[in-house]
Amino acid sequence: ELVDLGCDKGSEEEIFQYWAIAYEFLGRFDSSEYVLLQGLKRLPDNVNLRKRLAYAYKRLGNAEKEIFEYENLIDLTPDDLEPLNSLSELYAKVGRYDDQVFVLQRILEIDPNNKNAQGDLAQAFEATGKDPLDIHRRRFEDNPTNYSFGIDLADQLMLAGEEEEAVEVLNKLRRDGGNSGSVTNKLVLQKLATAYSEIDNLELASGAYEKLYDLDPRDFKTILEIVKVNTAIGDYGKAMKWAEESIKTASDNGESFGAKGSVYYAAFQDCRENFPTTNDKIVAALAYNYFKMAEDKGHNRYKRDRIYLENNRDDLVFGQTDWFMLDEDVKRQGSISPKSECYAWVSEPIKKDPSWN
């Protein structure tokens, strides 16, 4: 009656909105729809009335009309994330993935670091049959100074098995990273080292870890990674240098001692003869000793290797019998080091045990 008499002039939004809400409380969403449509004839650009109408269509189960209202809303309020998010969900619900991609791209233009939108966009691209990596590539190409975009792209490339492209992206971040913070630089270097390892370029992986060490010399975990990759390369001398650095950095941590033992053990396995020589046995004994020290400090990762050496001590590990067979001039020195070319990097001796008489 108020409307018919024209008494709503100047208060149209409140009148139609509360009229619609009254019908909602009664569960009469078809009547709420009618009221809101009447109100929008007078106020076609009213955001609140359109939001209530979209809600009415949701309760009526009319997804297409609900979509239509949200499409109107994003034209009226292009930077409002709420209708954009609702529209994205609706497009996915009805299988309109191309339209969902468009909406999600708009969301990311407004909120570039929106993780939910990034994930939904990858799924939407997959549903359309398009490569989800394209969106990550394009975002980084359009924003080459955005480290978050670059790191996200590298992560997605690694997951997709595109490690070489990930390396290119991460190196670009490194080249352009003069003004980035140390945390960002560390993250890029960690990912770069991992990517190099994945493509078996262990020399460059070691280089990345060494740069990471320069940023934080106290992080012995980085040192252990340098030990690991250089052991895998077969550069035992370099691996040993870093293993010793690890012990200096974390002398109470058994993992550092285990890492040093692992360098000796890997070299022993690589260099040994079919019938182990004295040189082989010396290096095996060094490995055994460091594995034992690691266990004494609570690190049991190499326990299996230590037990293997212990169970085959007579054949593999330098001991009393081997000492007895040495020349007298060597015995007088009280210790012995390996002399073969394969163990040229080994400087640590095995000392005579007091029980070897």
Tokens of 75: 């034209």
Report, as an integer, the average pLDDT of 19-39: 84
Q: Give the list of residues 6+ apart from residue 62 with CB closer than 8 angstroms, or none.
A: none
Report, as an integer, the average pLDDT of 305-316: 97
Q: Give the list of residues 6+ apart from residue 314 with CB closer than 8 angstroms, or none.
A: 321
Give the pLDDT of residue 53. 86
Q: Which residue has the higher pLDDT, 111 or 29?
A: 111
Judgement on whether residues 163 and 227 belong to the same structural domain of the protein: no
177 band by pLDDT with thresholds 50, 70 and 90? low
Q: Residue 146 sits in a domain of what CATH number? A: 1.25.40.10
Residue 45 lies in a domain: no
In tens, the pLDDT along 288-309 reads 999 999 999 999 999 999 999 9
Judgement on whether residues 162 and 281 belong to the same structural domain of the protein: no
In tens, the pLDDT along 178-216 reads 555 677 889 999 999 999 999 999 999 999 999 999 999
Report, as an integer, the average pLDDT of 219-235: 97
Number of structural domains (the chain) is 2
5 band by pLDDT with thresholds 50, 70 and 90? very low
Contact of 239 with 231, CB cutoff 8 Å: yes
pTM: 0.70
Q: Out of 57-66, 273-282, 345-354, pick the least confident.
A: 57-66
Residue 276 burial by Cβ neighbours in a 10 Å radius (0-12, 13-18, 19+): buried
Give the pLDDT of residue 152. 84
Stated as kind and residue range, the H or E segment containing 350 is strand 350-351
Q: Which residue has the higher pLDDT, 51 or 300?
A: 300
Judgement on whether residues 298 and 252 belong to the same structural domain of the protein: yes
Judgement on whether residues 141 and 252 belong to the same structural domain of the protein: no
Q: Which residues pair with 335 in a beta bridge?
A: 351
CA distance linking residue 73 with residue 117, whole number of Å: 19
